[in-house]
Amino acid sequence: MKEEIFGRIAALRDRMEAEGIEAALVFQKVDLFYLTGTMQDGLLYLDPSHELLLIRRHPPRAQEESPLELVLPYSSLKELPDLIRGHTGRLPEVIGLEMDVVPVGLFRRLQGLFPAGTFKDLSPLILHLRRRKSPWEVAMMERAGEIGRRVYEEVPRVLREGMTELELAGKLLLVAMAHGHQEYIRMRGFNAEAHSWHVLSGPSGAVLSSIDAPMGGLGPSPAYPMGASPKRIGRHEPILIDFGTSYWGYQADETRCFSIGRLPQRLKDAFSATREILAEVVALARPGVSCQRLFERGWEVTRRLGYENYFMGPEGYKTRFIGHGIGLEINEPPFIAEGHDYPLEEGMTVALEPKMVFPGEGAVGIENTYLVTQRGLRSLTPAPEDLIEVSP
């Protein structure tokens, strides 16, 4: 882990220099973990010669977890200028901040503490580094994928007619956490929330919600309006399980489909279509191919198969992507989406998720997480991909 951390810091310094950013203040806890190895409450100050890890709570644990040498306690942001000046001899004039996630109130306080400073957005630099994964990071995602395999293998053993979506989700969560899953799925952005237990049965699969996804689900209540709900699972309806897993903070996202008894042929055919769409996108994907081109290929296959009215959501509410980057957060670059005309690169990790939504009936689809290799995509989610019809 030590080599990982210092390699990331060196790469960020190079990008900061190229962008004219003299020093960085890293607050967001996922970025902080990426650059320091700890997620204790605090911040990282970084300039060309210094790394100051300033921790409010809990400094001793941060010292144990991070390879950085200088871990300093602090109790108030007011101390920040003196701490920086005391260890570096001066205050920076051009400061990088994660402007996509730093709250306005914090930004204004920092302006007051550094009145001569100019602030620039640091987030694109960090996200650019995070888009390509090291072998260690890939290994963590493979562990997450293995947890997912165990989860999906459990479904036929515990799925019963009349149980609620929440009950099934809870049983699957128990399996995942027993194998090291952290449960919480991290998602970047204001008011962004995600979770593991996206279990949708029958009409629930066609319920939209606030989340930018083809389907949202009812959720437990309007206070958390997405995912599994108190709805009871019946026979002959699609059961779509989008169960993300995470190990050491690194995530794998995947979706599989089930039913109790035989699924109507129309929905089985639609599920087969999603597998065909996925196969053609995967066959095209390799380093150098544009993410937008992959998005277009997905839609080309969809139209050829005659499912454009159902693909990636109902009419008027379709998502503008068919895949997304994934790692420490479930929505990081690259995006397999309209307007993202940049190439795949070796070491990127992406989740591809072709799905069909049938209003009033439900949803079917498939999703895998892949590593971009020199030869193409390698799946990190080994759970069997077939539709499984469980005997009543």
**What is the model's pLDDT at position 186?**
95
* Helix 265-284 vs helix 291-305: crossing angle, to nearest 10: 150
**What is the model's pLDDT at position 210?**
85
Instruction: State yes or no: pLDDT of 128 exceeds 90.
Output: yes
Under DSSP, is residue 337 helix (H, G, I), strand (E, B) or coil? Answer: strand
The arrangement of strands across the sheet holding 94-97 comes to: 71-73, 51-57, 41-46, 23-26, 94-97, 118-121
Under DSSP, is residue 54 helix (H, G, I), strand (E, B) or coil? Answer: strand
**What is the model's pLDDT at position 167?**
98
Q: Where are the alpha helices (DSSP H) in the chain?
A: 2-19, 29-36, 59-65, 80-88, 104-113, 123-130, 135-158, 165-178, 265-284, 291-305
What value does the mean pLDDT take over residues 192-212? Answer: 91
Instruction: State yes or no: pLDDT of 212 exceeds 90.
Output: no
Please identify which residue in the block is written with the tokens 């689809």.
365
What value does the mean pLDDT take over residues 182-186? Answer: 91
**What is the model's pLDDT at position 183?**
87
Instruction: State yes or no: pLDDT of 197 exceeds 90.
Output: no
Instruction: State yes or no: pLDDT of 211 exceeds 90.
Output: no
pLDDT in tens, 324-369: 999 999 999 999 999 999 999 999 999 999 999 999 999 999 999 9
pLDDT in tens, 77-111: 999 999 999 999 999 999 999 999 999 999 999 99
**Whole-number Å distance between alpha carbons of 125 and 96:** 10
**Whole-number Å distance between alpha carbons of 38 and 2:** 12
C-alpha closest to that of 310 among 361, 264, 275, 349? 361
Please identify which residue in the block is written with the tokens 């930018």.
212
Query: Which of 30-39, 108-117, 186-195, 356-365 is predicted with the least confidence, judged by mean pLDDT?
Result: 186-195
| DSSP for 174-194, written as a single string | HHHHHTT---PPP--STT---
Instruction: State yes or no: pLDDT of 386 exceeds 90.
Output: yes
**First CA to last CA distance, the chain:** 48
**What is the model's pLDDT at position 209?**
87
DSSP designation for 262: P
**What is the model's pLDDT at position 68?**
98
**What is the model's pLDDT at position 194?**
87
What value does the mean pLDDT take over residues 122-136? Answer: 97
C-alpha closest to that of 218 among 184, 37, 290, 227? 227
The overall average pLDDT reported for the chain is 97
What value does the mean pLDDT take over residues 3-25? Answer: 97
- Which domains does the chain show, CATH number per domain? 2-130 (3.40.350.10), 135-390 (3.90.230.10)
Please identify which residue in the block is written with the tokens 């730093």.
102
Spatial contact of 317 and 211, defined as CB atoms under 8 Å apart? no
C-alpha closest to that of 204 among 363, 390, 319? 363
Under DSSP, is residue 373 helix (H, G, I), strand (E, B) or coil? Answer: strand
Instruction: Count CB-CB contacts under 10 A for residue 220.
Output: 18
C-alpha closest to that of 326 among 249, 253, 241, 243? 253
What value does the mean pLDDT take over residues 254-262? Answer: 98
What value does the mean pLDDT take over residues 254-267? Answer: 98
**What is the model's pLDDT at position 1?**
80
Instruction: Count CB-CB contacts under 10 A for residue 57.
Output: 11
Under DSSP, is residue 390 helix (H, G, I), strand (E, B) or coil? Answer: strand
Give the whole-number percent of the chain exceeding pLDDT 70.
100
pLDDT in tens, 276-329: 999 999 999 999 999 999 999 999 999 999 999 999 999 899 999 999 999 999
